[in-house]
Amino acid sequence: MTARILYIEDNEQNLYLVTFLLKTKGHEVLQAHEGPEGIEIAGREKPDLILLDIQLPSMDGYTVARLLRTNPDLVKTPIVALTSYAMPGDREKAMAAGCTGYIEKPINPDIFLNQITAWLQNDMLGENEK
């Protein structure tokens, strides 16, 4: 199953790698380089899943997640935080801010794609139960 995925990330190398990986699976990728831009795109495009870097300029990922959750259209959209392996506290804070889950950086391509598939399938199951 292919999806429209918004990726909010300031690091060009990560943007390039993740976009490349997702496109190999047929996903459409929308990119934002910082939080306010990501929130604007999310509200307009209503992606199937949002990938959210935590360490962003001007507005951190926790704040972005909280603001995304204030939009009724995005209340159920999976938000997957990209957290640093070296910063375990990031994960709890990301979940408290409304993220659905997290993926640790640095990104391992195989594990990453499996995790994305799992998040998308979980979301589909949730839809079927409604």
Give the footprint of Mn ion on this chain (CB under 5 A): 10-11, 53, 55
Closest CB to Mn ion among 33 and 69?
33
Q: To the nearest whole angstrom, how small is the minimum distance from the Cβ of residue 103 to Mn ion?
A: 13
The residue number with the shortest CB distance to Mn ion is: 55
What sign has the CA pseudo-torsion 120, 98, 33, 12? Answer: negative
Q: To the nearest whole angstrom, how small is the minimum distance from the Cβ of residue 101 to Mn ion?
A: 18
Closest CB to Mn ion among 10 and 28?
10
Closest CB to Mn ion among 28 and 60?
60
Could you tell me which of 121, 105, 126 has the C-alpha nearest to residue 7? 105
Q: What is the DSSP letter of 108?
A: P
Residue 98 Rama label (left phi>0; alpha psi -120 to 50; beta): left
Could you tell me which of 103, 113, 41 has the C-alpha nearest to residue 121? 113
Closest CB to Mn ion among 35 and 78?
35
Q: To the nearest whole angstrom, how small is the minimum distance from the Cβ of residue 105 to Mn ion?
A: 9
Q: To the nearest whole angstrom, how small is the minimum distance from the Cβ of residue 25 to Mn ion?
A: 23
Q: Give the position of tokens 């047929």.
A: 26
